[in-house]
Amino acid sequence: MSTDRTPVGDADVCVIGAGPAGALVADRLADAGRRVVVLEAGPRFDPDDRLERQERAIRPAYDRPDVWDGDPERDVHVSSNEDWFYPLNHTRVKGVGGSTLHWQGMVMRLHEDDFDSASERGVGVDWPIGYADLRPYYAEAEREIGVAGADDNPFAPPREEPHPMPAFKPSYSDGLFAEACENVEIAMHSVPNARNSEVYDGRSACVGYGTCQPVCPSGAKYDATVHVERAEERGATVIDRAPVQYLEHDADSISAAVYATPDGEHRQEADSFVIACGGVETPRLLLLSESEQYPNGLANSSGLVGKFFMDHLFAGMGGTLEEPTRQNHVGFLTSESHQFYDDADEEVGPFKLEFFNYAGPSPVESALGGDDWGDELLERLRREYGTQVGMGALVEQLPREDSYVALDPDRTDDRGNPVPDVHWNVDERALRTLERANEIQREILEELGAEITWQVGPENTGPAYHHMGTTRMGDDPDESVVNARLRTHDLENCWIVGSSVFPTGGAMNPTLTIAALALRAAEHVDAELK
């Protein structure tokens, strides 16, 4: 493996970030014959280490950041809103592959009304593009990633072709929920998953390790290293451990990305730049690149870089049954419900219901987390394991200007740069939506006959770690950072890809929309280079 981290000469495009958005853009542009260089802040992980990382994931001595080598000095951050603390490092990964190394792997399309929230729901803003504009790119993204799904969701937006692979069969616990849902007239349907239900694209079918989040040892779950490696085969250069410190520029364009390496600092020049650092690090990089031309941060003539930070909120409920549930038999979701999603209005937002296959601890976690052994351990496992059920829900948070990512004036990272301050706020509509989701979850669980033992709702909700909105797209340069083609309004050779461009978040896991937008943006970047 090469450790040459020197700049690439005559680069057409410099992509900053090797997560799903950056990887897809790099692969598409390399395939078009462009000279592409990718700068990634974190390391390239050895795939042979994934079993060891799986072991870390199930041992209580390790925290989530330890699984993918989180660095407290490199990744330090601040959350300045005391009312809504944001645990940024709990589920982020810096490295080649980015967040897809540890993600759950659910890939839904946004609904049609998600693109027209202001017009259809009376809140938020409308996107400058509609579902019809993104629809062919959704299909392309599903083929690129490899999605297992079915056409059994009557509430989903229209599609043009079947999913690339058949859906995973409903789990045993899904079957327990099905009768209760039928009795209370709630429809269940399959979950589209970015994991192989059969051999696909040279990767094996899922073999059931069950540790999907935060590590899939088999490679059956898609991660962005697939497209990073493909881009390299097509001639792209990927430089890891190369955090970009700032972007050199004049009033109209970027000239170079200045990046640090273990061996020193370098300048990567290119004709065009694509920033794909995620919803926190993308605005941070732009703010770190302030200058005389852009005293408030690069591409920030609107003053909105970092503003409108959004996440999805979690609502959950669970308990126990007086019968086996095979908890943790499947490590991902196989059933959900979008039945209430399009009821959204000004008062209650969109949400989707999830039926957990992994409620309660696994037997391994239970055993490792206790002090007992032998017969005592066996008796405790029989008593505590195997009868738990749970439900979840994702809830939309509206964009608000007082929810933002900024530079902290006092803290710096291991390179001496100001760290991100994630100042997270949550709107009242989201809290009402959490209450509504909890009401439906309780109805289902009581119909199931469960003894409810836990609830996550308005008072103790938390984020889903989907960082959105901080460089929003729009037609008006005074009200957005990038246009409908994801090029910045201020700079003629700078594009931003990723969920930071979402004007609103909906309540669907964002990665498929990230991928679709990245494929669409790659076309526009390539066209501008001709």
Encode pLDDT of 12-40 as tens digits.
Answer: 999 999 999 999 999 999 999 999 999 99
Answer yes or no: do 291 and 376 share one domain.
no
Tell me the torsion sign for CA atoms 326, 106, 98, 218: positive
CB 390 within 8 A of CB 360: yes
**Does 183 reside within a domain?**
yes
Answer yes or no: do 221 and 121 share one domain.
yes
Least confident of 67-76, 105-114, 217-226, 407-416: 67-76
Measure Cα distances from 506 to 145, 392, 455 in Å. 21, 16, 23
Of residues 338, 466, 467, 489, which has the active-site annotation? 466
Answer yes or no: do 126 and 248 share one domain.
yes
For residue 510, give both structure tokens.
């964002």
- Residue 77 domain boundaries: 1-147+210-311+400-425+466-530
Quick one: what percent of the chain has pLDDT higher than 70? Answer: 98
Answer yes or no: do 16 and 86 share one domain.
yes
Q: What is the pLDDT of residues 161-208, one digit of tens each?
A: 999 999 999 999 999 999 999 999 999 999 999 999 999 999 999 998
With a cut of 70, say whether residue 427 has pLDDT above it.
Answer: yes
For residue 13, give both structure tokens.
């495009």
Answer yes or no: do 517 and 436 share one domain.
no
Answer yes or no: do 142 and 179 share one domain.
no
CB 327 within 8 A of CB 389: yes
Helices (H) and strands (E) in the chain — how many of each?
Answer: 12, 18
Parallel/antiparallel/unpaired status of strands 272-275 and 13-16: parallel
More confident residue, 54 or 306: 306
Backbone phi, psi, residue 395, to 5°: -125, 140
pLDDT at 361: 66
AA identity, residue 148 = A
Looking at 460, 482, 510, the residue that finishes a domain is: 460
**Does 197 reside within a domain?**
no
Number of separate domains in the chain: 2
Tell me if residue 329 is catalytic: no
Measure Cα distances from 334 to 105, 148, 234, 341, 508 in Å. 11, 10, 35, 18, 15
pLDDT at 327: 82
pLDDT at 204: 95
**Alpha helices by DSSP H, 369-510:** 374-384, 428-448
With a cut of 70, say whether residue 2 has pLDDT above it.
Answer: no
Q: What is the pLDDT of residues 375-386, one digit of tens each?
A: 888 887 777 778
- Strand-pairing partners, residue 389, are 319
**Does 200 reside within a domain?**
no
Q: Which phi-psi region, left, alpha or beta, contains residue 351 (left: φ > 0; alpha: ψ -120 to 50)?
A: beta
SS3 for 5? Answer: coil
Looking at 409, 437, 460, the residue that finishes a domain is: 460
Mean pLDDT, the chain, rounded, equals 95
Average pLDDT over residues 481-501: 98
pLDDT at 375: 83
Tell me the torsion sign for CA atoms 460, 464, 470, 476: negative
With a cut of 60, say whether residue 96 has pLDDT above it.
Answer: yes
Provide the CATH number for the domain around residue 5: 3.50.50.60
pLDDT at 210: 85
Answer yes or no: do 492 and 520 share one domain.
yes
pLDDT at 372: 80
SS3 for 65? Answer: helix
Answer yes or no: do 95 and 180 share one domain.
no
pLDDT at 366: 64
DSSP sequence for 507-529: TS-SHHHHHHHHHHHHHHHHHHH
Average pLDDT over residues 422-439: 98
Cβ-Cβ contacts under 8 Å for 473 (sequence gap 6 or more): 127, 128, 129, 480, 481, 482, 483, 484, 486, 501, 502, 503
Answer yes or no: do 456 and 481 share one domain.
no
Backbone phi, psi, residue 406, to 5°: -135, 175
pLDDT at 371: 76
Answer yes or no: do 389 and 325 share one domain.
yes
**Alpha helices by DSSP H, 394-491:** 428-448
Quick one: what percent of the chain has pLDDT higher than 90? Answer: 85
Diameter of the chain by CA atoms?
72
More confident residue, 54 or 397: 397
- Residue 229: how many CA atoms within 13 Å on its side-chain side? 13
276 by Cβ neighbours in 10 Å (0-12 / 13-18 / 19+) ranks as buried
With a cut of 60, say whether residue 487 has pLDDT above it.
Answer: yes
Confidence at 365, pLDDT banded by 50, 70, 90: low
**Does 198 reside within a domain?**
no
With a cut of 90, say whether residue 363 has pLDDT above it.
Answer: no
Average pLDDT over residues 295-314: 98
**Does 134 reside within a domain?**
yes
With a cut of 60, say whether residue 1 has pLDDT above it.
Answer: no
pLDDT at 59: 82
Answer yes or no: do 105 and 181 share one domain.
no
Provide the CATH number for the domain around residue 352: 3.30.410
- Residue 502: how many CA atoms within 13 Å on its side-chain side? 35
What CA–CA distance (Å, rounded) separates 457 from 459?
Answer: 6
Answer yes or no: do 131 and 105 share one domain.
yes
